[in-house]
């Protein structure tokens, strides 16, 4: 399985647009991690592996609820945008 | 060469031995010390004393030269023929001159010469075959159990360790951005970087535990309060089922939801 910057950015865009739920994004990231553990996940270009992996991991567990208010998640869209900006990606 | 004044003497011998290694120096704490004792490369076989003396000149011969000693017959025949032909020496039937007793060629009571080296050659090869056979058999019996016993240096062990090290480094890179630690049971835990929750001072992080003995991994998210106590755990079952285990600030289990 090949993953590149465009694929990951599209997932983030879908989350911010509300077309992809946090729970689905969490499963998407989990599946990619499974592929990586099996050694079948390829990053394109290979130099972006570190950055792409961070973007993927940030989505894993994005739906973990807050302990005080289970209706909230520990991260929300504001956190996603801030995180993307820290990586030089502006989707706002 | 002047065979008539020859003085023959022969010496023949070989030795062999096994040189044992110091116990435990190369086989490790759990190694089989007997393996080194019967190891073929340490098997020493010497026949440097094999040779003849001929008219005072030592001929250090290897075994092929020694095996082909037919050339000795001719000078001895010449000697005996000479003395029998009336040279004055007492060489009557049955009497063996001293100088012939010392040589490699003697005659039997019927007065016929025989090659005493013949028997030595056969004995030599029988010994060689026997020793080498014993060495091979000993090597087999010593090596097979040793491989079963060894735990520290076998190729399979090294390969396995290399694979585990590779897996450890991989998981440290991918999941250990927040560090890792080794548990007392030999498992490893890799911690992702903790991030603060949106609405409070709690933080959460991903944790991966790896068992290097069977390769199994398990993942979970844990939420920590500002004191660093785990107050919520969500294991990854891989099925999409998401169960949250709650704990109070003192680590007491409160329930699931």
| Tens-digit pLDDT profile for residues A43-67 | 999 999 999 999 999 999 888 888 8
For residue A2, the distance in angstroms to the closest alpha carbon of chain B comes to 17
Contact list in B for residue A72 (CB cut-off 8 A) is: 198-199
The answer, yes or no, to whether residue B245 has pLDDT greater than 70, is yes
Chain A with chain B: Cβ pairs closer than 8 A: 55
* pLDDT tens figures, B180-227: 999 999 999 999 988 887 777 888 899 999 999 999 999 999 988 888
| Section B57-82 average pLDDT | 39
Could you tell me which residue, B164 or B64, shows the higher pLDDT?
B164
Choice among B43-57, B177-191, B193-207, B242-256 with the minimum mean pLDDT: B43-57
According to the model, what pLDDT value does residue A37 have? 92
The answer, yes or no, to whether residue A73 has pLDDT greater than 70, is yes
According to the model, what pLDDT value does residue A16 have? 93
Sign, CA torsion A58/B206/A78/A21: positive
Share of chain B above pLDDT 90, in %: 15
DSSP label of A47: G
The answer, yes or no, to whether residue B92 has pLDDT greater than 60, is no
For residue A10, the distance in angstroms to the closest alpha carbon of chain B comes to 22
**Cα separation, B173 vs A49, whole angstroms:** 11
For A26, the token pair is: 């969490």
Interface test with A, best of B169, B242, B248 (most A CBs within 10 A): B242
Could you tell me which residue, B15 or B141, shows the higher pLDDT?
B141
Nearest to A66 among B200, B234, B236 (CB): B200
Nearest to B206 among A60, A66, A75 (CB): A60
Contact list in B for residue A33 (CB cut-off 8 A) is: 174
According to the model, what pLDDT value does residue B44 have? 36
According to the model, what pLDDT value does residue B91 have? 39
According to the model, what pLDDT value does residue B104 have? 46
According to the model, what pLDDT value does residue B136 have? 84
Q: What is the ipTM of this complex?
A: 0.90
According to the model, what pLDDT value does residue B145 have? 57
| Section A31-41 average pLDDT | 93
Choice among A16-30, A51-65, B55-69, B104-118 with the minimum mean pLDDT: B55-69
Let me know how many helices (H) and strands (E) chain A has, helices first.
4, 2
| Section B52-56 average pLDDT | 33
For A31, name the nearest residue in chain B, comparing CA atoms only: B238
According to the model, what pLDDT value does residue B28 have? 39
According to the model, what pLDDT value does residue B42 have? 36
For B143, the token pair is: 């090596």
| Section B12-19 average pLDDT | 40
- Cβ A29 vs Cβ A3: under 8 Å: no
Contact list in B for residue A68 (CB cut-off 8 A) is: 199-200, 202
According to the model, what pLDDT value does residue B169 have? 93
Reported as type and span, the H/E element at residue A46 is none
The answer, yes or no, to whether residue B81 has pLDDT greater than 70, is no
Supply the mean pLDDT for chain B. Answer: 64
According to the model, what pLDDT value does residue B16 have? 40
For B243, name the nearest residue in chain A, comparing CA atoms only: A64
Scanning chain B, the segments in alpha helix (DSSP H) are 33-37, 63-67, 70-84, 98-101, 116-149, 155-175
Let me know how many helices (H) and strands (E) chain B has, helices first.
6, 15
CB atoms within 10 A of CB A24: 17
Task: Grade residue B5 by pLDDT with cuts at 50, 70 and 90.
Answer: very low
Nearest to A66 among B195, B197, B246 (CB): B197
According to the model, what pLDDT value does residue B152 have? 53
Nearest to A79 among B198, B240, B244 (CB): B198
* pLDDT tens figures, B152-190: 567 777 788 888 899 999 999 999 989 999 999 999 999
For B177, name the nearest residue in chain A, comparing CA atoms only: A54
Task: Grade residue A32 by pLDDT with cuts at 50, 70 and 90.
Answer: very high
């Amino acid at each position: 399985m090949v993953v590149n910057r465009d694929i990951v950015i599209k997932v983030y865009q879908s989350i911010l647009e509300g077309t992809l739920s946090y729970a689905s994004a969490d499963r998407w990231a989990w599946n990619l991690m499974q592929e990586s553990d099996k050694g079948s996940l390829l990053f394109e270009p290979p130099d972006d592996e570190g950055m792409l992996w961070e973007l993927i991991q940030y989505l894993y567990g994005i739906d973990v609820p807050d302990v005080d208010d289970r209706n909230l998640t520990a991260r929300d869209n504001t956190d996603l945008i801030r995180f993307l900006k820290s990586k030089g990606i502006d989707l706002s | 060469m002047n065979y008539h004044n020859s003085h023959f003497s022969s010496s023949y011998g070989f030795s062999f031995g096994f040189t044992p290694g110091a116990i435990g120096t190369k086989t490790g704490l759990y190694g089989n010390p007997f393996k080194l004792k019967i190891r073929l490369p340490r098997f020493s076989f010497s026949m440097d004393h094999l040779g003849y003396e001929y008219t005072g000149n030592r001929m250090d011969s290897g075994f092929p030269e020694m095996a082909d000693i037919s050339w000795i017959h001719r000078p001895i025949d010449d000697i005996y023929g000479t003395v029998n032909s009336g040279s004055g020496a007492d060489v009557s039937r049955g009497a063996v001159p001293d100088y012939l007793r010392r040589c490699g060629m003697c005659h039997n009571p019927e007065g016929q010469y025989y090659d005493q080296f013949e028997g030595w050659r056969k004995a030599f090869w029988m010994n060689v075959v026997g020793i080498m056979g014993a060495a091979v058999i000993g090597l087999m019996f010593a090596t097979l159990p040793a491989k079963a016993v060894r735990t520290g240096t076998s190729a399979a062990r090294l390969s396995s360790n290399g694979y585990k090290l590779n897996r450890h480094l991989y998981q440290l890179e991918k999941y250990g951005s927040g560090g890792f630690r080794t548990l007392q049971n030999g498992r490893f835990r890799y911690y992702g970087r903790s991030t603060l929750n949106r609405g409070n001072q709690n933080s959460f992080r991903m944790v991966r535990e790896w068992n290097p003995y069977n390769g199994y991994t398990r993942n979970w998210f844990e939420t920590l309060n500002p004191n660093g106590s785990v107050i919520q755990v969500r294991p990854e079952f891989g099925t999409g089922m998401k169960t949250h285990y709650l704990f109070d600030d003192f680590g007491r289990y409160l329930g699931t939801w």
